[in-house]
Amino acid sequence: MKIKSKLPNVGTTIFTVMSKLANEHNAINLSQGFPNYPCSKKLIELVNHYMKEGFNQYAPMTGMPSLRNVIAQKIENLFGHPINADQEITITAGATQAIYTVISALIRPGDEVIIFEPAYDSYAPSIEVNGGKVVRYALSAPDYKVDWDLVESMVTSKTKLIITNTPHNPTGSTLKASDLLALQELVVKKNIFLLSDEVYEHLIYDGQQHESVFRYPELYKRSFVTFSFGKTLHATGWKIGYCVAPKALTTEFRKVHQFNVFSVNAPKQLAIADFLTDETEYLGLNQFFETKRDFFLDQIKGSNFRSLKCSGTYFQLLDYSKISDLSEVEFAKKLTIENGVAVIPVSAFYEDGKDEKIIRVCFAKTESTLLEAGEILKLL
């Protein structure tokens, strides 16, 4: 029997390709976005504690109350926005599941969704598998700014949702207050929902503040906001995140959530709830990663790479146009095979493969790894 694919154009992701290539050639892997250092011993001990205490059965569908309460308090402390932990917060199996669930709850065949490319690679397939149409706005180097008048011109009677991501993967750019005000005006005027992907909320640099949807009450009224503990706790393999949305939107979100995941790892939820009561465990992340960014940039100082501004995330973009005329994909493969450093071509995040001779490097690595990689890259 043959299956008529709902995603006929989806193949192996560039992350799998580059990590496999890195393993085959024993290359330093700066491609996939995960740390190569351990998460907190205290956090591991808390997980172990709750396992030993017998919290190994199903958690509530909405998430452990203690964790939802901590999240609600965190949001109010940071943004002055009160959140009802019972009615507006749902714990998910990572941010990607939260994103998929939002799209599944909202999008019907023929609905249009505006995304900004280069885009996190789960957005478009999640839209398409639910029968929606992806409408792409192409951002451009070096600043990846959004022209909101142009975005408004892309809105039609079928536009149901806009997806934003700040700090932005893969570019490291961030939306400013003026962007959020323009976005708020647009979605209210056009009666559109917003999915705000804020998984890198604490990874924002150079004295900037994170412009969360929570700062804009009229915008929040029609928004789903998604987050990832994997980024905050250096534990990407745990796949625990959450979605925050007004009561009416959360009700629809949970109708889907209960049938595609139902509930998430119980002992880890309880451990994270305890761990986050100490704000220093996450409020210092910006300085921690800013130091890594600056250390990496210092290692390649004087090289033929041109670094683009990284305002957030743990990804640094490098322009290699002075080094090679190869396409981004071919340059990334050559760098892995011949030079021993694996990176990601930014063109992989564009549907049309837009190629500006730019690669993405993950600097969430130990200093020894960044030093070794920098010594190689500096010679190119």
194 and 111 in one domain?
Answer: yes
The whole-number average pLDDT for the span 21-44 is 94
> Model confidence at 13, in pLDDT bands (50, 70, 90)?
confident
Predicted local distance difference test score (pLDDT) of residue 15: 85
For residues 154 and 148, what is the distance between their CA atoms, to the nearest angstrom? 10
Predicted local distance difference test score (pLDDT) of residue 244: 98
Predicted local distance difference test score (pLDDT) of residue 9: 85
Please check whether residue 338 is in contact with residue 349, taking contact to mean a CB–CB distance below 8 angstroms: no
Residue 361 is given by DSSP the state E
Please check whether residue 39 is in contact with residue 285, taking contact to mean a CB–CB distance below 8 angstroms: no
pLDDT above 90: residue 2: no
Count CB atoms within 10 A of the CB of residue 39.
17
**Of 261, 279, 297, which one is at a domain's C-terminal end?**
279
> Model confidence at 10, in pLDDT bands (50, 70, 90)?
confident
In one letter, which amino acid is 320? Y
pLDDT digits (tens, 9 = 90+) for 198-222: 999 999 999 999 999 999 999 999 9
Predicted local distance difference test score (pLDDT) of residue 114: 98
The CATH number given to whatever domain includes residue 297 is: 3.90.1150.10
Instruction: Quote the domain boundaries for residue 142.
Output: 41-279
**Of 279, 294, 323, which one is at a domain's C-terminal end?**
279
Q: Which of 203, 228, 233 lies closest to 42, judged by CA?
A: 233
For residues 151 and 262, what is the distance between their CA atoms, to the nearest angstrom? 35
The Cβ-side half-sphere exposure at 251, using a 13 Å CA radius, reads: 2
Instruction: Specify if 18 maps to a domain.
Output: yes
The whole-number average pLDDT for the span 14-25 is 91
pLDDT above 90: residue 75: yes
pLDDT above 90: residue 1: no
The CATH number given to whatever domain includes residue 103 is: 3.40.640.10
The whole-number average pLDDT for the span 110-123 is 97
177 and 72 in one domain?
Answer: yes
370 and 233 in one domain?
Answer: no
**Of 252, 279, 306, which one is at a domain's C-terminal end?**
279
For residues 23 and 31, what is the distance between their CA atoms, to the nearest angstrom? 12
For residues 173 and 160, what is the distance between their CA atoms, to the nearest angstrom? 25
List Cα–Cα distances, 145 to 95, 116, 117, 172, in angstroms.
24, 10, 11, 12
Please check whether residue 249 is in contact with residue 240, taking contact to mean a CB–CB distance below 8 angstroms: no
Please check whether residue 211 is in contact with residue 175, taking contact to mean a CB–CB distance below 8 angstroms: yes
| Number of domains present in the structure of the chain | 2
pLDDT digits (tens, 9 = 90+) for 347-378: 999 999 999 999 999 999 999 999 999 999 99
Residue 204 is given by DSSP the state B
Dihedral over Cα of 214, 220, 221, 223: its sign: negative
Instruction: Specify if 2 maps to a domain.
Output: no
Predicted local distance difference test score (pLDDT) of residue 321: 98
Instruction: Specify if 196 maps to a domain.
Output: yes
243 and 347 in one domain?
Answer: no
Q: Which of 20, 27, 37, 32 lies closest to 361, judged by CA?
A: 32
218 and 205 in one domain?
Answer: yes
87 and 159 in one domain?
Answer: yes
pLDDT above 90: residue 14: no
pLDDT digits (tens, 9 = 90+) for 79-112: 999 999 999 999 999 999 999 999 999 999 999 9
Instruction: Specify if 137 maps to a domain.
Output: yes
For residues 195 and 226, what is the distance between their CA atoms, to the nearest angstrom? 8
pLDDT digits (tens, 9 = 90+) for 143-173: 999 999 999 999 999 999 999 999 999 999 9
Could you please report the per-residue DSSP string of 277-290?
A: TSTHHHHTHHHHHH
Instruction: Specify if 1 maps to a domain.
Output: no
Return mean pLDDT, the chain.
Answer: 96
pLDDT above 90: residue 117: yes
210 and 66 in one domain?
Answer: yes
Predicted local distance difference test score (pLDDT) of residue 16: 87
Kindly state the tokens that stand for 204.
Answer: 């924002």
**Percent over 70 (pLDDT), the chain:** 100
